[in-house]
Amino acid sequence: MSNLSDAISKSVSSVPECLAAGVVDVASGLLLDIKTVDSHPSMVIDMLAAATSDWFQGPNVLAIEEMFKKSRGIETNNVRYFEEIIVNSKNLLHVFIRARINQDYVVCFVCRRTVNLGIALTKARGAMPEIEASI
C-alpha cells in the first residue's frame, strides 16, 4: 500500500490536464487529502468537501436510493446508486468517483475544461485502485 498523499499526487500527474484531486469522506463531509497545482482558498476546498457529501449522500439522494431499493426488493442499506458524477463548470471539468471498497469515500478530479472527457474519465477510473488501497 502506498501513502494517500503520494497516490493522489500520482493521479494528478496521470489524468490529463488535471489541476487537483482530493479524497472526501462523504459520511463525515471531511476532506482527507488534496493535491493541487495552484493554491485555492481553504473555504472553497471545505465547501467542495461538503458539496460532495451532499451530492452522494444528501437527504434527497438517500431518498432516491431507498425508492430504488424498495422497487427492486433490495433490503440492504449499503447499496449505493450514485457512483460517478461529472460536473462541467465554466472553465473546469470535475469528475467525482465513489470508491468501490469503502463507499464512504469519493475522489474528485478537477481538470481543465479543454480535456477530452473520455480520456480524463478513463484515467481517473484507472487511478482509483491505488488511491483506494492507500486510504
pLDDT at 88 over 60: yes
Between CA 29 and CA 54 the distance in angstroms is 8
**How distant, in Å, are the alpha carbons of 15, 20, 57 from that of 69?**
34, 34, 15
pLDDT at 1 over 50: no
pLDDT at 123 over 80: yes
Domains of the chain: 4-133 (3.30.450.30)
Task: Report pLDDT for 2.
Answer: 64
At 72, is the pLDDT very low, low, confident or very high (cuts 50, 70, 90)? confident
32-41 residue pLDDT tens = 999 998 887 7
Q: Is the pTM of this model over 0.85?
A: yes
Q: Would you say 135 and 26 are in contact if contact means Cβ atoms under 8 Å apart?
A: no
